[in-house]
Structure 1
Amino acid sequence: MVASISNETYAIGLARAFGGAVLFAFPLLMTMEMWDLASSIQPVRLALFLAVSLPFLLGLSYYSGFRETFGWLDDALDALASLAVGFIAAFVLLVLFGVVTPDDSLYEAAAKTALQGVPAAIGALLARRQLRGGEKGGPDDPEEEIERREGYLSQLFLMLAGALFVAFNVAPTEEVSLIAFQSSSWLTLALLGVSIVALHAIVYTVGFAGQEAHENPLQAALHYTVPGYAIALAASLYVLWTFGRTDGVPPGDVLRLGVVLAFPGALGAAAARLLV
């Protein structure tokens, strides 16, 4: 009886994971720039993208998986399951959209699936938080999961996840480059300032764990706002590099691109406790 209930619960979690994968990935699945990227991305860069995604997905499974887990083995299995869900969902939809066709080479089909599959896997792991409305007989988050999120390093990881959650959907578009190259240095600095202020305001509104220990606003900003923006900027630059947006671009313009993408990334980092 216990095994039956456990299997049923896992099946529900898996179905929810597919829903989260589709919900999170469909903007990318229907973005032409992502289709074209698969034919130009370097194999080494794609391999690194997949390698980096594995520990990141493991961390997401630990903090916010598509089901409640009870140990690192559970988290590792769910991270792999989410990757499988993401790849399956991405491949099926790309075939239905006519993006992956029999004329594609094996590498091109695999690259298209992998580039879309990793963001879909993130959506799969976030499905429990994004798609449920609270479980009967208990709070929205199990007590053990809440405790996992309380530490300072945990908060920084959640900020990273929130930044990537948003940045993935914006980075492939041409508009990021257009905004960056039509902005003056002063406008770029102003956008950086607005991003930091918005991040700080949202962090205080959401109420990150540990904030109450920092009665001094400056101290709180140094502990959460500044590291949070640095994380969002670094995540934005990495995603832009992975998607080939920084190739052949002068360092100053690369930084400008990063600041533009870090604006939505910072909002994602700030709202991490809601998104992730």
Structure 2
Amino acid sequence: MGEDAAPGAWARDLARGFAGAVLFALPLLMTMEMWWIGLYASPGRLALFLVLSVPLLIGLAFYAGFRDSFDWRDDVVDAFTAIGIGAITAGVALSLFGVIRLGDGLFDIVGKIAVQTVPASMGAALAREQLGGSGQEAQQRQEEASYLGKVFLMAAGALYLAFNVAPTEEMILIAFKMTPWHGLALVGVSLAMLHAFVYEVDFYGGRRPEIDRFWPLFLRYSVVGYAVALLVSAYVLWTFERFSGLDLERSVMATVVLGFPAALGAAAARLVL
């Protein structure tokens, strides 16, 4: 049995996971809109949200994780462990804040915890990257990631940052304040910043693909990364019932608004993971 399999090492890894869950999820745990989402969001959408988080967390366990993993079985175990950490963190924090109480209905309690579990689970899965102690094997996997692997990391980064603002009323308010011209300008700025942050500014950790020409690089990575950020944004807004009462134009505008931080998250994922 290796060192990482020792009980003390496992306890250390779990502690790191809980620390990552608290650090990332705390702003959301203390956000009133997230409490409301747990009350009115469709149970089917929340269930789908949790189900889709499983492959996401398996991928994060493979590329990062809160401990060293050696095969796909370890990644699966770590993914479900992260979900457990996220659920416990959300339940304890919301209880301490008085957001959930013993007298509340079962569906209300489950809904409030479920909507917070996914971001807390991501924080747990990325704890080692955020808190230090990243293993050489994980770093090597990130360096050797395939094209689809890089796209996955961009999607994870987009979701990671979009979580922080997606539930807020300001996303919808901004969508109503903007004109179509504002929307087009924001699309252009989002694309330019995504491309520049990763490939042109030379941030520490940026890994430029082996493509010398601008247009192949821009289309293959930056445009695809922005498209992924928009898809992630639309899905999160749909899950959080943020499209309710909006026409198509305002729904698209809200997606573009959330796509701005999501695009930055997609760019940052290549730098911090």
TM-score (norm 2): 0.94
1:89 aligned residue: 89
2:256 is aligned with 1:259: yes
Q: Mapping of 1:67-78 within 5 angstroms?
A: 67-78=67-78
Say which of 174, 183, 186 aligns to 1:179: 174
1:137 aligned residue: none
Q: Decide whether the 8 Å contact of 1:192 with 1:263 is kept in 2.
A: yes
| Amino acid of the structure 1 residue aligned with 2:170 | E
Runs of 4+ residues over 6 Å off in structure 1: none
2 CA distance for matches of 1:46 and 1:147? 31
Name the CA shift for 1:2/1:63 in 2 (closer, same or farther; >3 Å). Answer: closer
The alpha-carbon deviation at position 249 of structure 1 amounts to 1.3
Secondary structure in structure 2 of the residue aligned to 1:103 = coil
2 CA distance for matches of 1:129 and 1:121? 14
1:55 aligned residue: 55
The alpha-carbon deviation at position 103 of structure 1 amounts to 2.2
Secondary structure in structure 2 of the residue aligned to 1:245 = coil
2:101 aligned residue: 101
1:152 aligned residue: 147
2:187 is aligned with 1:192: yes
Q: Decide whether the 8 Å contact of 2:198 with 2:208 is kept in 1.
A: no
| Amino acid of the structure 2 residue aligned with 1:215 | D
Secondary structure in structure 2 of the residue aligned to 1:147 = helix
The alpha-carbon deviation at position 2 of structure 1 amounts to 4.6
Name the CA shift for 1:65/1:4 in 2 (closer, same or farther; >3 Å). Answer: closer
The alpha-carbon deviation at position 150 of structure 1 amounts to 2.5
Measured on the aligned residues, the alpha-carbon RMSD in Å equals 1.7
Q: Deviations over 1:99-119 (max 9, x none)?
A: 001221111101101111111
2 CA distance for matches of 1:107 and 1:154? 37
1:270 aligned residue: 267
| Amino acid of the structure 1 residue aligned with 2:109 | A
Structure 2, unmatched stretches of 5+, are: none
| Amino acid of the structure 1 residue aligned with 2:230 | L
2 CA distance for matches of 1:160 and 1:274? 13
Say which of 231, 234, 239 aligns to 2:236: 239
| Amino acid of the structure 1 residue aligned with 2:190 | S
2 CA distance for matches of 1:46 and 1:74? 26
Q: Deviations over 1:66-88 (max 9, x none)?
A: 11100010000000100000000
Q: Decide whether the 8 Å contact of 2:68 with 2:137 is kept in 1.
A: no
Q: Decide whether the 8 Å contact of 1:16 with 1:66 is kept in 2.
A: yes
2 CA distance for matches of 1:274 and 1:84? 27
Q: Decide whether the 8 Å contact of 1:177 with 1:257 is kept in 2.
A: yes
Q: Decide whether the 8 Å contact of 1:22 with 1:120 is kept in 2.
A: yes
The alpha-carbon deviation at position 250 of structure 1 amounts to 1.1
The count of aligned residue pairs is 269
Percent identity, please. Answer: 50
2 CA distance for matches of 1:216 and 1:178? 40
1 CA distance for matches of 2:196 and 2:178? 25
Q: Decide whether the 8 Å contact of 1:155 with 1:208 is kept in 2.
A: no
2 CA distance for matches of 1:196 and 1:248? 29
TM-score (norm 1): 0.93
Q: Deviations over 1:29-60 (max 9, x none)?
A: 00101111111111111111111111111111
| Amino acid of the structure 2 residue aligned with 1:223 | R
